[in-house]
A and B are shown apart, each in its own frame.
Chain A
Amino acid sequence: MIYKTFRFRTLIYLLPALFIFLTFNVIPGLTSLVLSFFDFSGFETNLFKKFVGIDNFIKIYEDKYFWIALKNTFLFVFGAVFIQTGIALMLSIFIFFGNFKFSVLIRSIIFFPCVLAPVSVGLVWKKILEQDGVLNAILGLDFSWLSSISLVMWLIITVNTWQWIGYNLVIYYAGLQSLNIELLEASDIDGANWSQKIFSIVIPLLWPTTILNMILNLIGGFRAFDIVYVLTRGGPAHYSEVLASYLYYYSFAAGGPNKMGVGASVAFIIFVCILTIAFARIVVMKRVEKN
């Protein structure tokens, strides 16, 4: 600390950032919680005119598509947390221990989709998955992938994994590079084979990196909107809706119900989900520190 005590004058460093953070983040966030108890639509100026209590929540509770959106969000998060992390772990071990000549190039290629906009990625895959698209041409099928109620969510998860796997990969790679080499050398002397080394040494040692990747994917999973919007717009018949796109559909979409209050209550639910995760994370972290 430069000064031993608090000086008013130095607040000038903090205030501009704090002002913007409060005005465009904290205050709207808290307002959103309040707004979920009001009924208003896109054209009103006084939002707080019509207090409806928990009507908005009852409305979404009774809406079958809300439950589909909730289920899909959890499915999406599950895919991101377990499948994506798992594949990234496998790839990073293969690249790191595989003695590849062009390992930097390989990493760059797998990483590249991360810097693309989800909109571009969604549009690339949309044409591939269409009925007259190249996937059907390769497989010799005539199947409309994105109109399949049972498959559509898994396809969205696949596309999302395709885009973000390189992100988890480079984080794992950083973890592998800081691994303790002596343990591996010791196991070599003891005559351990490659699978023993991977499953009993490398993966357990990478556990903190795995947790980090899972948390990043968990938070990212709740954010997913662009890819759903571009690939399916929540269709067919709302069967690939996630919470974020459901919120958009209820409050902004052309041809939607245009009920902002209901949208705000969906935001409330997302807020609660994230808060629960944040608390769970703190509890887990404390327990990890204790051990």
Chain B
Amino acid sequence: MEENKQSNYGATFKRSPIFFIISRIVILFFIIIIIFPLLYTLSLSVRSPETVYSAKFFLIPHEFSLQNYYDAFFYAEERLKVSFPRMFLNSIIVTTSSVSLIIMLSIFAAFSFSHLRFPMKESLYNVMIASVAMPAQVLLIPLFYLLIYFGIINTYLAVILAYAGFLIPIGILILRMFFEQIPYELTEAGIVDGSSDFQLLTKVLLPLAKPAIATCVILLFLDTWNEFIYAMIFMQDPTIHTMQVGLAKIGTSRYHINIGTYSASVMVSIIPVLIIFTIFQRWFIAGMTMGALKH
């Protein structure tokens, strides 16, 4: 359907050669700008250490080799005291536990906002909406001391709870809107059948809310996987560094690092995201668009 609509529009512009040519040039230019830095880093990472500075057209290496990836692996172990697989594992632990915690709590809370009565409901909701606009750095210092006080600084829990506090409003926002769009007749039928509120949530609303939950998962996954400042400050113990923190340490370290090793480290963080994105790209784009439109 999408394609259909587009060709309808396009027909009115087709007759203008100027528009046709300008659009080709501009889009080609931007595609190159977007792709070149990534391809260049990939190209650096697969050059052999001796020929790292020589390539045809800046991109095609003279000599292919995966040596840089081995070097990156050992560099991380030696300098950071944490290996790449461990950083991955840390990131996965933090991301999956915070996303599942946020989703679970948001589902229940969104249900109470959409289908239950309680005092101060709308004012509380407005506070949550307002908090979405706050930058994470505002909470940095008090959270740091709060986590020390709870004795969970330098553990996974520190970051998981910090993410939960920060991202729960977004989950509630998206899910409440969705729950309220579900026709009330469906809920009513459930009430007449004598279902409890818990049954209404799990049997009637949740099966219908799968797309909204998928949107939430994608948004929260990106936010937590890519998050940097909380992970850096609340988990300073090297063995629990996440991918982003380890990578930033490698990239901004004062020690000399071979440009090939450096690029290999960066590619290690980019390639898995590229694979996941290629498989689920429609979901990512739809999810992020929907997330934005709900603001």
Q: Tell me the minimal C-beta distance from B186 to chain A in angstroms.
A: 12
Please, which residues of chain B bring their CB within 8 A of the CB of A155?
A: none
Q: Tell me the minimal C-beta distance from B119 to chain A in angstroms.
A: 6
Q: Does B111 contact A (CB under 8 A)?
A: yes
Please, which residues of chain B bring their CB within 8 A of the CB of A225?
A: 137, 228-229
Q: Does A142 contact B (CB under 8 A)?
A: no
A11/B118 in contact, CB under 8 A: yes
Q: Does A98 contact B (CB under 8 A)?
A: yes
Interface SS, A side: helix
B40/A128 in contact, CB under 8 A: yes
Q: Closest A residue to B259 by CB, please name it.
A: A127
A1/B134 in contact, CB under 8 A: no
CB proximity to A under 8 Å, residues B124-176: 124, 127-128, 130-131, 133-143, 145-146, 161-162, 164-166, 168-169, 172
On chain B, which size bracket covers the interface? 35 or more
Q: Closest B residue to A245 by CB, please name it.
A: B137
CB proximity to A under 8 Å, residues B1-40: 2, 5-10, 12-14, 16, 18-20, 22-24, 26-27, 30-31, 33-35, 37-38, 40
Q: How far is the CA of A170 from the CA of B290 in the complex (A)?
A: 10
Q: Does A95 contact B (CB under 8 A)?
A: yes
- Of A47, A185, A252, the contact of B233 (CB 8 Å cutoff): A252
A2/B295 in contact, CB under 8 A: no
A14/B166 in contact, CB under 8 A: no
Q: Does A96 contact B (CB under 8 A)?
A: yes
On chain A, which size bracket covers the interface? 35 or more
Known: A124-B38, A167-B288. A96 touches B252 (CB 8 A): no
B281/A6 in contact, CB under 8 A: no
- Of B9, B26, B136, B274, the contact of A90 (CB 8 Å cutoff): B26
- Of B37, B111, B169, B252, the contact of A233 (CB 8 Å cutoff): B252
- Chain A binder among B72-80, B81-89, B243-251: B243-251
B143/A115 in contact, CB under 8 A: no
CB proximity to B under 8 Å, residues A60-105: 90-91, 94-100, 103
Known: A110-B30, A225-B137. A177 touches B117 (CB 8 A): no
Interface SS, B side: helix
Q: Does B217 contact A (CB under 8 A)?
A: no
Please, which residues of chain B bring their CB within 8 A of the CB of A117?
A: 225-226, 228, 243-244, 247, 269, 273
Q: Does A157 contact B (CB under 8 A)?
A: no
CB proximity to B under 8 Å, residues A198-221: 212, 215-216, 219
Please, which residues of chain B bring their CB within 8 A of the CB of A106?
A: 27, 31
Please, which residues of chain A bring their CB within 8 A of the CB of B41?
A: 124, 127
Known: A16-B108, A28-B139, A226-B229. A2 touches B115 (CB 8 A): yes
Q: How far is the CA of A144 from the CA of B185 in the complex (A)?
A: 66
A91/B30 in contact, CB under 8 A: yes
Q: Tell me the minimal C-beta distance from B17 to chain A in angstroms.
A: 10
Q: Closest B residue to A93 by CB, please name it.
A: B23
Known: A32-B141, A110-B34, A117-B225. A6 touches B7 (CB 8 A): no
Please, which residues of chain A bring their CB within 8 A of the CB of B124?
A: 18
Q: How far is the CA of A47 from the CA of B144 in the complex (A)?
A: 12
- Of A108, A197, A260, the contact of B141 (CB 8 Å cutoff): A260
Known: A97-B10, A270-B135. A230 touches B112 (CB 8 A): no
Known: A97-B9, A106-B31, A230-B252. A24 touches B293 (CB 8 A): no
Please, which residues of chain A bring their CB within 8 A of the CB of B295?
A: 212, 215-216
Please, which residues of chain A bring their CB within 8 A of the CB of B137?
A: 223, 225, 243-244, 247-248, 267, 270
Q: Tell me the minimal C-beta distance from B81 to chain A in angstroms.
A: 17
A185/B12 in contact, CB under 8 A: yes
Q: Does A193 contact B (CB under 8 A)?
A: yes
B141/A264 in contact, CB under 8 A: yes
Q: Does A141 contact B (CB under 8 A)?
A: no
Q: Tell me the minimal C-beta distance from B237 to chain A in angstroms.
A: 15
- Of B6, B12, B116, B197, the contact of A188 (CB 8 Å cutoff): B12
Q: Does B191 contact A (CB under 8 A)?
A: yes
Hey, which bits of chain B sit against chain A, CB under 8 A? Answer: 2, 5-10, 12-14, 16, 18-20, 22-24, 26-27, 30-31, 33-35, 37-38, 40-41, 44, 58, 105-106, 108-109, 111-113, 115-119, 124, 127-128, 130-131, 133-143, 145-146, 161-162, 164-166, 168-169, 172, 187, 191, 197, 200-201, 222, 225-226, 228-229, 233, 243-244, 247-248, 251-252, 259, 262-263, 265-266, 269-270, 273-274, 277, 281, 284-285, 288-289, 292-293, 295
A-B contact pairs, 29 of them (CB 8 A): A2-B187, A10-B117, A24-B162, A25-B168, A27-B142, A27-B146, A28-B139, A97-B9, A98-B24, A109-B31, A109-B35, A114-B288, A115-B277, A116-B226, A116-B270, A117-B225, A117-B244, A117-B273, A124-B37, A134-B40, A174-B289, A174-B293, A185-B12, A195-B19, A197-B12, A223-B135, A226-B229, A244-B137, A252-B233
New A-B pairs, 10, CB < 8 Å, besides A18-B109, A106-B27, A263-B140:
A14-B113, A21-B168, A25-B165, A98-B10, A100-B23, A107-B285, A111-B285, A113-B34, A252-B233, A270-B137
